[in-house]
Structure 1
Amino acid sequence: MNKLNELLYMTRDEAAEALQHYPVAVLPLGATEQHGHHLPNGVDVFLAEALSRRLCEQTGATMLPAVPFGYSWVWRDIPGTVSLQQHHVEAVIKDVAHSVARYGTKLLVLVNGHDANNTSMKYAARELEDELDMQVIYLFYPNLSAIIEKYCDSGMWHGMIHACEFETSLMLAVKPECVQMDKAVREYPEKPNLYGKSTLSLGDLSQSGVYGDATLASKEKGELMLRLFVEEMTQLVEEAYRQTISRER
């Protein structure tokens, strides 16, 4: 995507023209947190940005600057992790939505790269439905389980992704210079009975910070999965925009 289509690189006149032509804004949501010894702390930011850029290329939407912090409480004691409170993530989403709605944006698309942000997205969108005349949709790797099952050679850890074959493959496609495959490992920690029923967290279970088998990752898998996600997201955005236009008639 031409960087002139990213809000940070636009002048006020270019931003006004872009949103008048196609009043859809895309907000990448990431996190800054540990991703094992082989991946950078910015994985969730880089992947949310990559998906958002490709989505904007396909739809003509305007890409907003990525939110680099999310709810990362489980890794809070590991150097490099920066965590916001869950309700603060929700508040940031809502403030961005109110801002872009003021100058005519009709649809805000939240593109998330960090699982723990999903709750904030859902409740922010619900509150915004009652506050703004602007539709908000939230996307997080559509058809994730089916795509991982079909294109990855290792399974998820109890339905969760973190620094695994999946994320490492995506990073090899997006930021290969940031991946240290010689440090990639396989780890499937035991799941205690109280996990998910207490404050026992991911940060208490894994020695490496990896949940899955990062050693099986490849750039080819990452590029294929990225393409499939963007195809599905493009259809969802176009459907949401059609609904938005039809509601105004």
Structure 2
Amino acid sequence: MGVKELMHMTRDEVAAAVQEFPVAVLPLGATEQHGHHLPLGVDIFLAEGISRKVCEQTGALLLPTMPFGYSWVWRDIPGTVSLRQEHVEMVIKDVAHSVSRYGIKLLVLVNGHDANNSSMKYAARELMDELEMPVVYLFYPGMERMLDEVCQSPTWHGMIHACEFETSLMLALKPEWVQMEKAVREYPEKPALYGKSTISLGSMSKSGVYGDATLATREKGEKMLQYFVEEMSALVREAYRETLKNR
């Protein structure tokens, strides 16, 4: 099954695809630092790469990736582009309203950036009261299992950023953009007021890495990638079955 990529399709091809399987996938990324060994587009590459494989397995329509997210903590680092949280939410809602007009019956959000999770949740809740089309939002379902089974290093207080997890996935999806010779291990001290004040990630790490990127491998990334694609594809099929039942 080939990928139905909206950007490369004509209006007639999109109309036919919607008739065949009226499900669309919107990858959500961010443009922000990921240490000295990874590009600023990590969250874009991962969200889009996983979404592409999910669409290939399910037949869903792949929408263009949203390249910007809520990246306030890295706002002073060159290259960062950050939207306000409410703007991320509104973009999601506008996309949902747009695709629902021409027959999409289910919108799936595939997120590669942790700080977008709140925007996804609240957008989906508001859209429930505005549209008949449901919205499902996914962020590495089963991630804890993969961290336990595949990764050798602990997370930094449960967070993933430029670490073994993300670096391994990049090695599986975009190895040409990974500079492993620059990968480091860093676990910054967590201030008592972190999470209770405006103390941010951007002021705590020297390298921008939160975890141990040196342990990343392509093999780990491929194993996790396969798991996430299978899990997400199953969830897309389940969500569509529920959509049909409720129509």
Fold match (TM-score > 0.5): yes
- Which deviates the most, 147-156 or 92-101? 147-156
**Structure 2 unaligned runs (5+)?**
none
Q: What TM-score do you get using the length of structure 1 for normalisation? A: 0.98
Question: Which amino acid is the alignment partner of residue 230 of structure 1?
Answer: V
Q: Provide the residue aligned with 1:89 in structure 2.
A: 88
Structure 2 equivalent of residue 186 of structure 1? 185
SS across alignment from 1:195: coil
Helix, strand or coil: the match of 2:19? helix
Residue 28 of structure 1 deviates from its aligned partner by: 0.1
CA distance in 2, matches of 1:162, 1:6: 28
Shift of 1:2: 3.9
What CA deviation, in whole Å up to 9, does each residue of 1:91-112 have, x standing for no partner?
A: 0000000000000100000000
- In the alignment, structure 1 residue 228 sits paired with structure 2 residue 227: yes
Q: Which residue of 2 aligns with 1:137?
A: 136
In 1, Cα distance between equivalents of 2:144 and 2:124: 24
Alignment-mate amino acid for residue 21 of structure 1: E
1:119-151 Cα offsets, whole Å, 9 max, x none, are 000000000000001010000000111211110
| Alignment partners' CA distance in 2, 1:131 and 1:81 | 33
Alignment of 1:81-230 (within 5 A): 81-230=80-229
Q: Distance in 1 between matches of 2:192 and 2:19?
A: 53
Q: Take 2:18 and 2:112, find their aligned partners in 1: how far apart are those partners?
A: 24
The C-alpha deviation readout for 1:10-43, integer Å capped at 9, x for no partner, is: 0000000001100000000000000000000000
The secondary structure found in structure 1 opposite 2:70 is: coil
Q: How many angstroms apart in 1 are the aligned matches of 2:191 and 2:44? A: 30
Partner of 1:46: 45
List alignment gaps of at least 5 residues for structure 1. none
SS in 2 for 1:108: strand
**Aligned mates of 1:201, 1:149 — CA distance in 2:** 27
- Report whether the alignment pairs 1:18 with 2:17: yes
**Following TM superposition, by how much is the alpha carbon of 1:80 offset from its aligned partner in structure 2, in angstroms?**
0.7
Percent of residue pairs identical:
74
In the alignment, the residues of structure 2 paired with residue 221 and residue 80 of structure 1 have an alpha-carbon distance, to the nearest angstrom, of: 29
Amino acid at match of 1:167: E
- Return the alpha-carbon distance in structure 2 between the equivalents of residues 64 and 176 of structure 1: 24
**Deviations 1:137-186, CA, capped at 9 Å, x for gaps:** 00000011121111001011000000000000000011100000000000
Could you say which residue in structure 2 is the equivalent of 1:63?
62
Q: CA separation in 2, counterparts of 1:177 and 1:51?
A: 17
Q: Deviations over 1:34-58 (max 9, x none)?
A: 0000000000000000110010011
Question: What letter corresponds to residue 54 of structure 1 in structure 2?
Answer: K
**How does the TM-score come out when normalised to structure 2?**
0.99
Aligned pairs, number: 247
d(CA) in 2 for partners of 1:6, 1:155: 37
- State the SS of the aligned residue for 2:87: helix
SS in 2 for 1:192: coil
Offset at residue 235 of structure 1 (A) = 1.1
RMSD: 0.7
What is the identity, as a one-letter code, of the residue corresponding to 2:136?
Answer: I
Q: Which amino acid aligns with 2:66?
A: V
CA distance in structure 2 between the aligned counterparts of 1:19 and 1:116, rounded to whole angstroms: 31
State the distance in 1 between where 2:184 and 2:2 align. Answer: 36
Q: Secondary structure at the match of 1:28?
A: strand
2-structure distance, mates of 1:162, 1:114: 9
- 1:101 alignment partner AA: S
* Deviation digits for residues 60-86 of structure 1 (CA, Å, limit 9, x no counterpart): 000000000000000000001100000
